Structure 1
């Protein structure tokens, strides 16, 4: 019996050491998005300890159709759209510093995307692509400011002036500290609870969830 308890203690020590090891290493993520008429998936590969431990999973990008009557949705809704917006603005106010501190430790190694886009009208397609490139510039500036960006994103758009189409194929590779992610998640949870309590005080007859 003594040997059995000693074995259990040894296993517990090994598990605790593995957990501590995992918390102090970086998690690398590579996401490959394929969005075409034939295939709509996201392939996510995660690895730690320089690919010593690896895992891959596939996320379908076809949303499940939810068929509910509008009146039924209205009955299920506890708060109005404006109140939901107000809640998330307050949540962002309480949590944005926490999130920004975490993002400043995220390392983005490369972003490569190719988009084939068209709306069936040459003028509208041109305007849309111009707007899209402006948004890409804004996103690039955000990444440069709030993350560790090793290389500028490489995103190009091929226009289709004669047909309505939207196809995308690209990869993004980044890494972050598991310990910081866990700690940030805990702080965001506390910020959510604080925001919810404040919301219930200002909206005593409403609730976020039941």
Structure 2
């Protein structure tokens, strides 16, 4: 009887030890799983923080680059505007001087009975061209074809001069100025003095009216 009780006690004790061991193993397993989960969550959080920090830095760099790019563009645009304004001013002054100086020329007699050109604006003097210029003063006549051509060119020059004065765009002014120069060259080939009178007339100047000047050739 005593031996049976002892054997039962031993058997029961062994079972208790086994249960305790299994319980301890389960506990250690849960602890290990919990540690792994915590490490994973920590790593994930740190990775997220690193990504957010990197994203913020990239955003700041992008914003900085964008701001600097905008500043550079604005600076370049302002510089281009200033350059365009300088070019426009230069063109306006140059055109005004050219047309004003052209309108100041007139034929005047010399002491030896000849003719010379004198610019009442700049004070310059020059020899009078041969041919048509002298004939206008001495009673010679332009041909009908030349007179018709000058009348047409005069109309074109006056129209272009009016367009030039009303324009504000540099590119458009330059195109009109080139056309003015071409028309002026065509007039000058026919009659240089009359071409200058027409240029002066278009700019509000001129020594005599073009209509009065043309009468010399009729």
TM-score, with length taken from structure 2: 0.23
Bigger proportion of residues as helix: 2
Bigger proportion of residues as strand: 1
Rg larger in 1 or in 2?
A: 2
Higher relative contact order (CA 8 A, sep 6+): 1
TM-score, with length taken from structure 1: 0.24
